[in-house]
Chain A
Amino acid sequence: MERKKIRKSDLGLWLDRIAEEYELIGPTEEEGVIGFEPVDTSAALKLDYTNSLIPPKSLFFPPAESLFSFRKRGREIELEETKPMERDRVVFGIRNCDVSSLSLLDAVFGEDLEDAYYLERRARTALIALACPTPPRSSCFCTTFDIDPLSPEGSDILLTDVGDVYLVDVTTERGEGLVALSGDLFSPLSADEAQELQPPPVQMRKLDVSELRERIEALWEDEYWEKLSLPCLGCGICTYVCPTCHCFDMVDVGSTSDGARYRCWDSCMYSDFALMASGENPRATKAERVRNRYFHKFSTFPSRYGTGYACVGCARCLVHCPAGTEITQVIEDILAKEEVSE
């Protein structure tokens, strides 16, 4: 579809119109933390942000969700399924690193076994992506994984800030429907504007990761993991702020006669993550757990799902790790390793 534009001052009108028809979700700020939350009005959105702390994967794969509730009545057991969502949703302001992460999660929750909860949320949620500000955060490195922060791929609509207006690229029918809600706010670009109104190119560091998988697979026994894990505290921040991490646990909350089955996020950095009922722990040491996380991103995931690496270069883990572990440094270290040292 042809590129359009919308005046910045009109964005709120459009989003408010969307909020009448859909559940509108976008970037908000609470106590200094940016997150994607449902809002009643566009006035509650925070447009001046680089990205959220918790990635928007949480909108499709929530930190805690009840799958069904159960109640025992005499000898009968009543089961009640929890509906994943009520209204169709529109997510405004998602960045392209996170859009890419959803296509990776689609492989996890959509192949072999289809996860009805995740897939329903995906099917009933439109994405209005917002191209990244220029310059991006100094920690960003999404281009390393061939993600273009200005691309409309993967979303329904991409907005690009070019001063007084947003450029509007609509890529799906669903996107066209959203634009049509306030069709009069959008106008085509004149020939001159199409030439002039271009976002500045995004400059960011880009690592050559073409050999990363081979390199890391050669390092299973390397002493590097021990060294890397020394400062690691074993908290779950890196996994919970990661847009591609997707491990979960299933627990029954309540009593045996009245409760609900929950799915909640779990973290491979926790010492009890792989602990078995027998007491055996296949990843008993921190070094093994740290190694596992990077192996999963750069070897296990691509080999299991036939995708690219399970990292989208958002750098959230790097920014928020309390022990200062930098994933880009890890990648560089792996690539620089000449041979295995034991």
Chain B
Amino acid sequence: MQERLHEIVRKLLAEGAIEYFIGYGQGFEPHDVAPCFVAQEDEVEKLVWGPLCAHNLSKYALRAKELDGKVGLLVKGCDARAIVELVKQHQIERDEIVVVGVPCQGQVDLRKLEEVLGLPLEVVKGVEDVGDDFLVTVGEEKRKVPKEQVLRDKCFYCKHPNSFEYDFTLGDVMPFSIDADKGEFALVEELEQLSLEERRAFWQKQFARCIRCNACREVCYACYCKECIFDSLAPRWIEKPPLLGENEIYHLIRALHLAGRCIDCGECERVCPMNIPLGLLFKKVQKDIAELFDYEAGMDLDQVPPLIDFKLDDQDPFM
């Protein structure tokens, strides 16, 4: 699949169809993968693909705005929902970017892998996808790790193992046969069982750690506002010091601003250096939107987002 990727990107660059291509490249450690920008044909070999390519590169589609030419992007099925939304939200024109779709059989959650191995991640020399397991190279040894132990949460209920919004595709895969054993919203439902006070205590404990590095905002495909509410000086909606109350408001504002737009890519949680379970917060927002409006963001270019829609026969039960 990697060869096919190199072939397509080489062709795109040779034809001048794109200014540069954004895929995945090797990071500092063998287990690290990092966004990789390729502008020259002789750099194409740097691009890699595998089960450590968790990043949602769709955020970089916004870069197309700054360029005369087009940007090429490697996009997993799940990440393509961000492309759909960016087009729907009029942030990019679909023809400003070239999407190379890549089929995916699940991505590794590095925090889970570290826990399962009981070893620091730097001993991991590589991870291969072998169907229902990952083959993890630890030092000289290869260990089989069942996918259900280390998959990212969202991969358990994957809706798009294959690309669905693309210009080129690297092929199709068979979905893996793992029984998630729980529904998509199981973790949220567990939390919903708690009392209001318990939930507040749970989230305060999480938000108290927040250092307000803004990584969750900056990595989010949907955070493209020219002036973010958090940066506004007049009026000043939120204070800069990372005090608990301000942190709570920060994350709750983000959650509400993403309602109906969050595509469950999980990037906010993945990049959070303080391990705040932001995915869980956004899962709650997705659940509410699903229940109230029967809507899932990023699934269909023609579906109107509920929060910008207006219906005369809306019952407004809360009014």
Query: Interface residues, chain A, CB within 8 Å of chain B?
Result: 30-33, 50, 53-54, 63-64, 137-139, 227, 230-231, 233-237, 240-241, 249, 251, 253, 262, 264-267, 270-272, 318-320, 322-324, 326, 328-329
Residue pair B273, A320 in contact (C-beta under 8 Å): yes
Give the complex CA separation of A11 and B37 in angstroms.
Answer: 50
Pick the contact of A251 from B20, B209, B217, B239 — CB < 8 Å?
B239
CB-based contact B37/A235 at 8 Å: no
Q: With contacts A237-B215, A241-B273 known, is A138 near B29, CB below 8 A?
A: yes
Whether B122 pairs with A324 at a CB distance below 8 angstroms is no
CA–CA, A30 and B273, complex, Å:
12
In angstroms, Cα B27 to Cα A320, docked, is 11
Leading 5 A-B pairs by shortest Cβ distance: A324-B34, A64-B241, A235-B215, A264-B241, A322-B271
* Docked complex Cα distance between A188 and B50 (Å): 55
Report the separation of the CA atoms of residues A231 and B36 in the bound assembly, to the nearest whole angstrom. 7
A251–B273 Cα distance when bound, in Å, is 25
Which of A30, A231, A329 is B209 in contact with, Cβ under 8 Å? A30
With contacts A230-B37, A253-B243, A322-B271 known, is A240 near B28, CB below 8 A? no
Bound complex: CA of A249 vs CA of B219, how far in Å?
24
CA distance A235 to B271 in the complex (A): 10
With a cutoff of 8 Å between Cβ atoms, the chain A residues found around residue B120 in the complex are 50, 137
Contacting residues, chain B, for A328 (C-beta < 8 A) = 28
B270 partner residues in chain A, CB cutoff 8 A: 322
Q: Which residue of A lies closest to B111 (CB)?
A: A32
Q: B274 at interface (Cβ–Cβ under 8 A)? A: yes
Say yes or no for B213: interface residue by CB 8 A criterion: yes
**Are B35's CB and A237's CB within 8 A?**
no
Residues of B within 8 A of A137 (CB): 120, 122
5 contacts between A and B (CB under 8 A): A33-B273, A240-B273, A251-B239, A253-B243, A323-B35
Most-contacted residue by chain B among A138, A235, A249, A272 (CB, 10 A) = A235
Given contacts A33-B273, A230-B20, A237-B271, 11 further A-B contacts (CB under 8 A): A231-B35, A233-B218, A236-B213, A240-B213, A241-B273, A249-B240, A251-B240, A264-B240, A264-B241, A265-B242, A322-B271
Interchain CA distance A235-B210 in the complex, whole Å: 13
The reply on B149 being an interface residue by CB < 8 A is no
Q: A50-B120, A138-B122, A235-B218 are in contact. Are A264 and B242 (CB under 8 A)?
A: yes
Contact B274 A53, beta carbon cutoff 8 Å: yes
> In whole angstroms, how far apart are the Cα atoms of A184 and B217 in the complex?
54
Residues in chain B within 8 A of chain A (CB atoms): 20, 25, 27-29, 32-37, 55, 59-60, 63, 111, 120, 122, 206, 209, 211-215, 217-219, 231, 239-243, 270-271, 273-275
- Asked whether A323 lies within 8 Å of B241 as measured between CB atoms, the reply is no
Decide yes or no: A240 and B211 within 8 Å by CB, A64-B241, A235-B219, A253-B241 being known contacts: yes
- Residues from chain B with a CB closer than 8 A to the CB of A320 are 273
Number of A-B contacts (CB under 8 A): 104
Shortest CB distance B231–A (Å): 5
- Given contacts A50-B120, A324-B28, are A33 and B215 in contact (CB under 8 A)? no
Please determine whether B215 and A251 come into contact, CB atoms closer than 8 angstroms.
no
Contact A64 B242 (CB under 8 A): yes
- Closest CB of chain B to A270's CB: distance in Å? 7
For A241, the closest partner residue in chain B by CB is B273
CB distance B213 to A33 under 8 Å? Answer: no
- The reply to whether A323 and B34 contact each other, CB–CB distance below 8 Å, is yes
What are the residues of chain A within 8 A of B239 when measuring CB–CB?
251, 253, 262
On chain A, the residues within 8 Å of B29 by CB distance are: 138-139
In contact, B211 and A63 (Cβ under 8 angstroms): yes
Chain A, Cβ-Cβ closest to B271: A322
Contact, CB under 8 Å: A251 / B34? no
Chain B nearest CB from A182 CB (Å) reads 32
CB B72 to nearest CB in A, in angstroms, measures 13
Q: Collect the chain B residues with CB atoms within 8 Å of residue A235's CB.
A: 213-215, 217-219, 271
CA distance A267 to B212 in the complex (A): 10
B residues in contact with A266, CB < 8 Å: 240
Q: Which residues of A contact B271 (CB under 8 A)?
A: 235, 237, 322
Q: Are A53 and B214 within 8 A (Cβ)?
A: no
Tell me how far the C-beta of A241 lies from the nearest C-beta in chain B, rounded to whole angstroms.
7
What residues of chain A lie closer than 8 Å to B242, measured between beta carbons? 63-64, 264-265
A324 touching B27, Cβ below 8 Å: yes
State the CA gap A271–B232 with chains docked (Å).
Answer: 12
Smallest CB separation, A204 vs chain B (Å): 13
